[in-house]
Amino acid sequence: MSNTVTYKNYDVEKYKTPTGSHLTCKGWVQEAALRMLLNNLNPEVAERPDDLIVYGGRGKAARNFEALDNIIASLKKLESNQTLLIQSGKPVGILQTHTDAPRVLLSNSQLVPNWANWQHFDELERKGLMMYGQMTAGSWIYIGSQGIVQGTYETFAAVARKHFNGTLKGTLSVTAGLGGMGGAQPLSVTMNEGVCLVAEVEEWRIDKRLETKYLDVKYTNIDEAIDAAVAAKAAGKALSIGVLCNAVHLLQRLIERNIAIDTLTDQTSAHDPLIGYIPHTLTNQQANELRTKDKEQYLALAYDSMKLHVELMLALQAKGAVTFDYGNNLRARAKEHGLQNAFDFPGFVPAYIRPLFCEGKGPFRWAALSGDPADIAVTDELIANLFPENESLQRWLKLAKERIAFQGLPARICWLGQGEREKAGLAFNELVRTGKVKAPIVIGRDHLDTGSVASPNRETEAMQDGSDAVADWPILNALVNTAGGASWVSLHHGGGVGMGYSIHAGMVIVADGTEEAAARLSRVLRNDPGMGVIRHADAGYDVAIDTAKKHNLTL
Amino acid sequence: MSNTVTYKNYDVEKYKTPTGSHLTCKGWVQEAALRMLLNNLNPEVAERPDDLIVYGGRGKAARNFEALDNIIASLKKLESNQTLLIQSGKPVGILQTHTDAPRVLLSNSQLVPNWANWQHFDELERKGLMMYGQMTAGSWIYIGSQGIVQGTYETFAAVARKHFNGTLKGTLSVTAGLGGMGGAQPLSVTMNEGVCLVAEVEEWRIDKRLETKYLDVKYTNIDEAIDAAVAAKAAGKALSIGVLCNAVHLLQRLIERNIAIDTLTDQTSAHDPLIGYIPHTLTNQQANELRTKDKEQYLALAYDSMKLHVELMLALQAKGAVTFDYGNNLRARAKEHGLQNAFDFPGFVPAYIRPLFCEGKGPFRWAALSGDPADIAVTDELIANLFPENESLQRWLKLAKERIAFQGLPARICWLGQGEREKAGLAFNELVRTGKVKAPIVIGRDHLDTGSVASPNRETEAMQDGSDAVADWPILNALVNTAGGASWVSLHHGGGVGMGYSIHAGMVIVADGTEEAAARLSRVLRNDPGMGVIRHADAGYDVAIDTAKKHNLTL
Ligand SMILES: NC(=O)c1ccc[n+]([C@@H]2O[C@H](COP(=O)([O-])OP(=O)(O)OC[C@H]3O[C@@H](n4cnc5c(N)ncnc54)[C@H](O)[C@@H]3O)[C@@H](O)[C@H]2O)c1
Ligand SMILES: NC(=O)c1ccc[n+]([C@@H]2O[C@H](COP(=O)([O-])OP(=O)(O)OC[C@H]3O[C@@H](n4cnc5c(N)ncnc54)[C@H](O)[C@@H]3O)[C@@H](O)[C@H]2O)c1
């Protein structure tokens, strides 16, 4: 291994993910947990292995290295009728259960609500009593940035289905921000066959996206970038263009030139106005200086800029652009600064993701425990054959193969709905049983899914019946997945929106080719999205009510 | 049925609890859920059946009558490999699981923490989206006031063990308040062979306790009451005395007369100063008038009085009385009013209950599904034979038979610890198998138990390691009981301390005499208190660390 980074705590050899078809634990479910835990911490996957941080700033896979070593030892001795309990990243017990029960149960970062704030959490973390689990970090099913690309792809695919007959071909999408998540936008748009024009103030960010081929071309002149975008759109060519400028300046110029644009959003880090948003009235250097010199003044300029930013978005919406907020709180900032109609364009969840949730659709993912990319190729082909009528899925599979580099264990993500997940899971189990893949396949999902999260500022924003904050749903989801026999189940607090703002459940299940696994897969992959269909039907969404009827999910 | 109360919504015939040995559902586990749900609402058990309120002010068993009817219908059609999901008192789905999984999973009153307050809850309740589950109300295992008597008995038994060689014989306990919970104090003290002197300002409360024989005698003169108490103590006689006076006046007089008292606590409703606490400077009538006329003035007098109350308690503590707070927040009130050393006497949980929790002890309870009191007599005898060395248990069983009237289905409560619960559960299953009882027995517990609650102002107050607010533990408890195959499992928020202040889990398991039930009982009744032992061992309590070692609960 030519690993040039050196670590203080993370031992590259000791924590290497086992691969291949031989067990190092007493069963494949335990083995899967071990491999996925170590995969989460693999330097190709994790943000900071040395701090056990997987992603999302502070999302960890284990509380500390002592806990990590104890988890590993526990998984190795765990029998196939026992269950290991993990409390905020620390193993606390092994109890007798039965073969159809989960092998691991995890609860991460859960606090009694009145104490559910960063201050108290940080105090507990300092005392060594807690860790932040994020979503898939603490539940051992993070598999790198493919998830972000696919989620963004799926959003633009939903936009395409709703407004452009299923493809962005011949359309122009405008946005800003090429950071950790925003960098997935250009690739997601071109995968949907459209043209993407992205404003970004940091040149190195643009260059980084060019390198990984998430972005096609760079411009430093706004007009030239616009001309290239308009030409590509006219030619029906998929093309992504990064332009080195402030989002506000790009939108101003588009309006001045009266350019017709088709979709409009933004992924600057407006949620953090001091660090994440550069006012259009400052250069980068001026911004860096002012931020440390005069915080108040910086914030005042940032708010002025964000207000203008939203005004420009509203103006373009009025001219016909399909406009939505991408979860960065830009609308809220503008409203705080006096723009009364800031919320005249919708958030992406209510507008595009919720209709998918109503059909039980969400971020289904799987990894090849063998470590062999050929195994994922086999599953890719299988999925393509199983769902020939699903166009955006077909396009994704084809392009993902070309454009997505594996990180750690080879893995794939695609959004599947009620019925489809069960079908896929059973088919994977057959692949394992018949030896078409070299080792079992582990199946999971993000916590951001149809039935597994309560998060009033994001996934459950503006529910039709006002039930945004009701947390019974993710809890029932965790309980029913435990009852159904998922391989490991987790319940977390905080996730991507922070302490106090969400409760969400994780689920992972192993297809090891046995008959017993088939029965469990059938139950869990039906019930897990089923909870989402039920939750949305209960809230009154027609599509969910129909899906529930069709799949026999009514009382 | 000679039921003289008439109800608007509650249909006495329709909602009558089935009894006997014949099934009305498709299996005994479903049948048990049905019977216990209806038993919770039985007018002999429930506070206000017409509002579906079981106990604790607003603790409900079902969201509304439509939900109740749907739950009943669902339980009747539920197969023995399916699971019914209940979201805050409303049935929302029946999903395929397996025979060893719970038949019902419930989540009640759970809110995303930032919205976890009464205001938001009330709004959701008004919209028909939620209900308050309290602890055993929404988890279908409330069985009337026996639980309160036994909990209070157990606290005084713990006081006796710690300070008085295992019995209160020849000691004088002083307290105040003969309300819903406080009324259990005199009986609990005499059951522990001691003398109890209770101040109460409302004469009808005293009379009510005399009627049900929870209290032995009433005095209206403080000195006569004190004389009677001192005489009984000298004679080593168990006697409970209610005295019509303010708590403050009783304590002042005890100090003036320099009476030696042995234990001291208080159960006025000091948690609610406006409604629940009568200042010693007012008569009841004056209090009632002032409360409506001048709220601020009332509160000022109540706080003055509570501060003095605690000062008197501290003075008696200094003279040697074993003094503790009984969960009514009296200390906090005094401190808010400037008494710096108000917390110089401990809360009852850290002082007396937690040591029991460390051994896995908690409120184990069971009910005879046959409805036949003779079945409970059989179980009483069995328990007495199983644990001959447990003195306070033997005393409780003997006296409970004489003093506790059954409400609804005949039931019994006693505190059992790690190892004991499993032993009892398996023995009950044998009783059913061999036909020594007429129908299966249902086993449960309060949520106020060793491993099932996070509640920083009560059950987890002042944990040794500062982990009071960590809610991972009750969540793991619910998950592991689901994994082990409990009959129904619930996770609630709020309970006795209200919105935002606690997260707690419920568990019920049916002994139906089958071999499969025996396996489940063994797992669940080991793991459920085991989580408590593990939780307290993790927090550093020596007794728990020893118990964990002894019962093989370490990693
Ligand atoms: N599921 C969701 O809700 C969801 C999904 C994706 C992104 N988001 C949100 O989107 C935002 C972006 O996420 P990220 O991880 O990419 O953040 P990031 O901080 O890594 O990147 C933000 C980028 O925006 C650029 N930028 C800042 N101000 C600008 C301006 N005025 N004009 C042009 N560029 C500017 C910065 O240089 C940076 O490259 C965050 O607020 C995130 O929370 C939310
Ligand atoms: N597990 C626990 O934490 C726990 C257990 C038991 C009780 N409690 C607490 O104990 C308190 C009592 O509960 P309850 O259900 O019996 O309440 P309640 O309101 O039914 O009864 C309180 C009684 O105190 C009397 N009273 C009020 N002020 C008085 C005074 N100054 N002197 C004498 N009598 C006075 C009232 O007349 C009333 O009968 C509550 O605060 C409750 O929360 C807590």
Q: Per-block average pLDDT, block size 10, for chain B (555 residues)? A: 74 98 98 98 95 92 98 98 98 98 98 96 97 97 93 96 96 96 96 97 96 95 98 98 98 98 96 92 97 96 98 98 94 93 95 97 98 98 97 93 93 97 98 98 97 95 97 98 98 93 98 98 98 98 98 94
What is the rounded distance in angstroms from the CA atom of residue A538 to the CA atom of residue A154? 25
Tell if the CB–CB gap between A130 and B470 is shorter than 8 Å.
Answer: yes
By CB atoms closer than 10 A (0-12, 13-18, 19+), residue A237 is middle
Interface A-B: count of C-beta contacts within 8 A: 251
Question: What residues have CB less than 8 Å from B481, skipping those under 6 apart?
Answer: B102, B489, B505, B507, B524, B527, B528
CB contact under 8 A, A95 and B484: yes
| Separation between Cα atoms, residue A499 and residue A505, nearest integer Å | 15
CA distance A64 to chain B (A): 16
Contacting B residues, span 428-457, partner chain A, CB-CB under 8 Å:
454-456
Q: Is B185 annotated as a binding residue?
A: no
- Rounded to whole angstroms, the Cα distance separating B39 from B19 reads 10
Give me the phi and psi of A85, to 5 degrees please: -105, 130
Determine which one of A25, A196, A245, A414 is catalytic: A414
Rg (CA), chain B: 23
- The reply to whether B146-340 shares the fold of B16-140+362-555 is no
Of A70, A83, A471, the CB nearest to B111: A471
Which of B448, B453, B443 is closest to B478 using CA atoms?
A: B453
Q: How confident is the model at residue A1 (pLDDT cuts 50, 70, 90)?
A: very low
Count of CB atoms within 10 A of residue B339's CB?
A: 19
Kindly give the distance from the C-alpha atom of residue A272 to the centroid of ligand 1, in angstroms, as a whole number.
Answer: 9
Contact between residue B538 and residue B60 where contact means Cβ atoms under 8 Å apart: no
Find out whether the beta carbon of B108 lies less than 6 Å from any atom of ligand 2.
Answer: no
- Is A479 close to B478, i.e. CB distance below 8 A? yes
Note whether A85 contacts B: Cβ–Cβ < 8 A: yes
Q: Name the binding residues of A for NAD(+).
A: 56-57, 134, 180-182, 200, 205, 246-247, 267-271, 277-278, 326, 496
> Looking at the complex, does the CB of residue B118 fall below 8 Å from at least one CB of chain A?
no
Q: What is the ipTM of this complex?
A: 0.93
Q: How far apart are CA A31 and CA A23, in angstroms?
A: 7
Q: Which residue has the higher pLDDT, A421 or B329?
A: A421
**Minimal Cα–Cα distance from B30 to chain A, Å?**
16
Angle, vertex CA B61, rays to CA B56 and CA B63, nearest 5: 110
Residues 185..244 of B with a Cβ closer than 8 Å to A: which? none
Q: Is A411 helix (H, G, I), strand (E, B) or coil?
A: strand
| Dist. CA B143–CA A420, nearest whole Å | 45
Q: pLDDT value at position A281? A: 98
How far is A488 from A40, CA to CA, in rounded Å?
15
Q: What is the per-residue pLDDT across A113-126, written as a single tens digit (0 to 9) for each?
A: 999 999 999 999 99
For residue B502, the ligand closest to its alpha carbon is 2
**CATH number for region A352-472+485-499+508-550:** 3.40.1770.10
User: What does the alpha-carbon distance between residue B277 and residue A456 come to, in Å, rounded to a whole number?
Assistant: 39
Among B130, B470, B523, the residue with its CB nearest the CB of A96 is: B523
Residue ranges of domains in chain B: 16-140+362-555, 146-340
* Residue located via tokens 């407004």: A163
Q: How far is CA B42 from each of CA A379, A431, B35, rounded to the nearest angstrom? A: 56, 55, 10
Q: Does B182 belong to an annotated binding site?
A: yes
B372: DSSP letter: -
Cα torsion A179, A185, A187, A190 to 10°: value is -150
Touching check for A390 and chain B: CB below 8 Å? no
Of B115, B129, B471, the CB nearest to A456: B115
Q: Which of A97, A473, A478 sits opposite B484 (nearest CB)?
A: A97
d(CA A473, CA A447): 12
- Flag whether residue A71 sits within 8 Å of chain B, measured between CB atoms: no
Q: Which residue of A has its CA nearest to B525?
A: A96
- Given a cut of 50, whether residue A336 has pLDDT beyond it is yes
Query: Is B124 in Cβ contact with A87 (below 8 Å)?
Result: no
Each residue's pLDDT tens digit, A142-199: 999 899 999 999 999 999 999 999 999 999 999 999 998 999 999 999 999 999 999 9
Tell me if B270 sits within 8 A of B227, measured CB to CB. Answer: no
Structure-block tokens of residue B241: 């005395």
Look at domain A146-346 and name its CATH class: alpha beta
Q: Cα–Cα distance between B516 and B518 in angstroms, integer?
A: 5
Q: Burial code of B408-427, b = ≥16 C-beta within 10 A, e = fewer?
A: bbbbbbbbbbbbbbbbbbbb
* Alpha-carbon gap, residue A132 to A89, rounded angstroms: 8
Q: Which atom from ligand 1 is nearest to the alpha carbon of A328?
A: 41
Containing H/E element for B323?
A: strand B322-323
* CA proximity to B81, closest of A484, A425, A422: A484
Please report the pLDDT score of residue A2 as a whole number: 42
A193 with A169: CB under 8 angstroms?
yes
CA-closest residue to ligand 2 atom 18: B179
In the DSSP assignment, the letter for residue A9 is: S
Q: Are strands A453-454 and A503-511 parallel, antiparallel or unpaired?
A: antiparallel
Which residues in chain B are closer than 8 Å to A473, comparing Cβ atoms?
87, 107
Range A271-297 average pLDDT: 95
Backbone angles phi, psi at B25, to 5 degrees: -115, -175
Cα distances (Å, whole numbers) of residue A286 to A248, A281, A289, A301, B13: 17, 9, 5, 12, 79
Span B146-340: which CATH code?
3.40.50.10730
Q: Are B87 and A484 an interchain contact pair (Cβ–Cβ within 8 Å)?
A: no
Ligand 1 probe mutation, A267, A272, A291, most atoms within 8 A of CB: A267
Give Cα separations from A93 to A28, A83, B451, B464, B542 (angstroms): 20, 8, 13, 20, 17
- Which CATH architecture fits B16-140+362-555? 3-Layer(aba) Sandwich (3.40)
Which of A479, A480, A502, A524 has the most B C-beta neighbours within 10 Å, making it the best mutation to test the interface with B? A479
Q: What angle do CA A145, A349, A425 make, to 5 degrees?
A: 55
Average pLDDT of chain A to the nearest whole number: 96
Q: Report pLDDT for A271.
A: 85
Please state, in angstroms and rounded to a whole number, the distance separating the CA atoms of residues B320 and B127: 54
- Which secondary structure element, helix H or strand E, spans residue A391, and what is its range? helix A391-403
Contact residues on chain A for B470, CB-CB shorter than 8 A: 87-88, 110-112, 124, 129-130
What residues does ligand 1 touch, defined as CB less than 6 Å away? A 176-182, 199-202, 205, 246-247, 267-271, 276-278, 326-328, 458
If you search the block for the tokens 């019930």, which residue do you land on?
A527
pLDDT score, position B272: 86
3-state helix, strand, coil in chain B (%, to 5): 45, 15, 40
Q: Which residues contact B138 (CB under 8 A, 6 or more apart)?
A: B59, B60, B61, B88, B89, B106, B108, B109, B131, B132, B490, B492
Instruction: Tell if the CB–CB gap between B472 and A110 is shorter than 8 Å.
Output: yes
Q: Do B124 and A479 touch (CB under 8 A)?
A: no
Position in ligand 1 atom list of the atom nearest CA A277: 28
Q: Are A98 and B523 in contact (CB under 8 A)?
A: yes
Q: Which residue has the tokens 């800031």?
A: A342
Chain-chain contact of B482 with A484 (C-beta, under 8 angstroms) = no
From CA B22, how far away is CA B36, in angstroms rounded?
A: 15
Residues of B marked active site are found at: 414
> Max alpha carbon distance in chain A (Å)?
70
Nearest to A137 by CA among A515, A546, A467, A446: A446
The reported pLDDT for the residue numbered A4 is: 63
CB A370 within 8 A of CB A425: no
CA distance A249 to A259: 14
Say which ligand is closest to the CA of A309: 1
- Cβ–Cβ below 8 Å for B479 and A96: no
- Comparing CA positions, the residue from B484, B461, B465, B470 lying closest to residue B530 is B484
Are A93 and B531 spatial neighbours (Cβ–Cβ below 8 Å)? Answer: yes
For A95, which of B111, B120, B530 is closest by C-beta distance? B530
Q: Whose alpha carbon is nearest atom 7 of ligand 1? A: A181
Confidence of residue A555 (pLDDT cuts 50, 70, 90): confident
The closest alpha carbon to B353, from B193, B461, B492, belongs to: B461
